[in-house]
Structure 1
């Protein structure tokens, strides 16, 4: 049995869906009503990471765990790893972020992920770390402006990033969870090309068949927008990450998706086409932002 956490997030729900299509899967969910993966082979345990009895129930008989955490203050990785060790779990696959392996990345989110990785290492449970680059799905934050005014507003429109489709990260995760020989390894995961926000805007316009305008935000405007959604340490982490991206730190393209899944990583144009409804002027809404006091899903700025 494989336990999936974070199954309402961009990667976790795809991991759960892929595993459920092949056999039984168990999901630990704080809010089960938000789950989109259901079926006779899907077992749901309601509970939070801070609820040890719920963790114990979820981990009973589990061989492998897919772990996603996002609290900026709670020791959730330590909690899950300790419970996994007590349950004799054989493999813990943690969703982290690529920035943890980059010496120049010292923002709040990256430091937290390094601490979380260390907690998993010290637990004694065999581990694998997945370290994706920025998710393509982050551009869902543009949806409201695209729908209402045909405009994309973002910081540093000419800064390249080898962003990755969350579905590709999920496919890598499933390959690691169901394969062998991955313990003690870390996999950095990128998309197939480095692309700028201006280029993404142009590709999105082509997919939608309408003209879109790109407007570059200044740092102060970007900070104000971020502070409206996130705690200050998280907002400042995004800004620090953007500076690294502008310096070219996120442009490297890696072959991990192809090597572990046997097929190439999806380009942004394909992701945009598959999510065009979110940007159409029909009242569709993008995915919700992270709740105040919680980190965004891993790799918002990785």
Structure 2
């Protein structure tokens, strides 16, 4: 049996959908009813589980051979709870969603330090492990959807800094290979898209696909801090701003061909991702608004 944590998230749900038919799949979630709705008809077992609730974690892991581990807490307590529980339950293999930043010696922010510690925890636990280290998700651009629909405008920090962002579907395909094939134990895979793009590049591409000019407005660091502060606690905000500074210095522009190696096809382009998600950026037919010039 395969257990998928974070199954209703951006990557997790694609992992569940990509697992071979006939494979027993269980998803651990705080809301099994929601998960059952997401995966209706897929033959997926949804169970209630929480990293902070050891008995629920033990129930979710019972009978599991392989697990896909997604955690978001920056304190590291989720991984520290899951890994020994998986070992006690007899889990053989854990595939962990990490991040490419762990390889950058200049990345010393809170989030990256914790990701490194979680990787070390998994490597030393005695289980078979595989690490997936993606660059930024292309789907992060969905945060622009509202302003694009309403104002035909994208606002972001450091619009000319490149990032080899990756389609979450490619990450999920790599995860499925690591979960279902032999030969991935003890391996760490850095996953990127096929080219490094800036936010201004992405804005132009979206405008071309939509058939309308979009404007890019660069945020100041203070504006970005204020915007992030509406979503995240201060330590995470500062970590994200430090990450943006590293991107501006070119730390996230390197492209890997690992997606092709693992899946057999090239990494999907941003244009491919945007075309498949264009509806999110398309205003209602009766909506009118300004027509700014593309930068």
Q: TM-score range by the shorter chain?
A: over 0.9
Count residues with an aligned counterpart: 283
1:11 aligns with 2:11: yes
* Residues 1:40 and 1:241: Cα distance change in structure 2 (over 3 Å): closer
Residues 15 and 174 in structure 1, CA contact (< 8 A), matched pair in contact too: yes
2-structure distance, mates of 1:224, 1:113: 25
> Residue 33 of structure 2 corresponds to which residue in structure 1?
33
The change in CA–CA distance for 1:206 and 1:62 in structure 2 (over 3 A counts) is: same
Structure 2 unaligned regions, length at least 5: 286-295
1:131 and 2:133 correspond: yes
5 Å matches for 1:111-122? 111-122=113-124
The answer (yes or no) to whether the contact 2:76–2:114 under 8 Å persists in 1 is: no
Q: Please report how far the alpha carbon of residue 73 of structure 1 lies from its aligned counterpart in structure 2 after TM superposition.
A: 2.9
In structure 2, distance between residues paired with 1:73 and 1:112:
7
Task: Name the structure 2 match of 1:179.
Answer: 181
Shift of 1:159: 0.4
Contact 2:94 / 2:127 at 8 angstroms: preserved in 1? yes
Find the aligned partners of 2:20 and 2:46 in 1 and give their Cα distance. 12
Residue 111 of structure 2 corresponds to: 109
Alignment of 1:207-218 (within 5 A): 207-218=209-220
User: In structure 2, the residue corresponding to 1:84 is in which secondary structure?
Assistant: helix
Q: Alignment RMSD, CA only?
A: 1.4
User: What TM-score do you get using the length of structure 2 for normalisation?
Assistant: 0.93
Q: 2: CA distance between counterparts of 1:14 and 1:80?
A: 22
1:109-139 C-alpha deviation (Å, 9 max, x unpaired): 1011111112222222111110000100011
Aligned to 2:292: none
Which SS does the other structure have where 2:19 is aligned? helix
TM-score (norm 1): 0.91
1:56-67 superposed matches below 5 A: 56-67=58-69
Q: Could you report, residue by residue, the CA deviation over 1:11-54 in whole angstroms, capped at 9, with x for unpaired residues?
A: 01100111164533110011223332232520111121122222
The whole-number CA distance in structure 2 between the counterparts of 1:269 and 1:126 is: 36
| Matched residue, 1:291 | none
Q: 1: CA distance between counterparts of 2:42 and 2:124?
A: 36
Measure, in 2, the Cα distance between the counterparts of 1:22 and 1:267: 31
1:1-302 to structure 2, matched below 5 A, reads 1-19=1-19, 21=21, 23-35=23-35, 36-39=38-41, 41-73=43-75, 75-282=77-284
Q: Which has the higher contact order (CA 8 A, sep 6+)?
A: 1
* Matched-pair contact (CA < 8 Å) for 1:165–1:266: yes
SS of 1:27's partner is strand
Distance between the aligned counterparts of 2:231 and 2:52, measured in 1? 24
Task: Quote the Cα distance in structure 2 between the aligned partners of 1:45 and 1:23.
Answer: 17
Higher-Rg structure is 2
Q: Tell me, which stretches of 5 or more residues in structure 1 are unaligned?
A: 284-302
Give distance in 1, aligned partners of 2:22 and 2:272.
25
Stretch deviating more after TM superposition (14-23 or 264-273): 14-23
Conserved in 2, the CA contact under 8 Å of 1:10 and 1:166?
yes
User: In structure 1, how many angstroms separate the alpha carbons of the residues matched to 2:244 and 2:231?
Assistant: 17
Shift of 1:74: 5.3
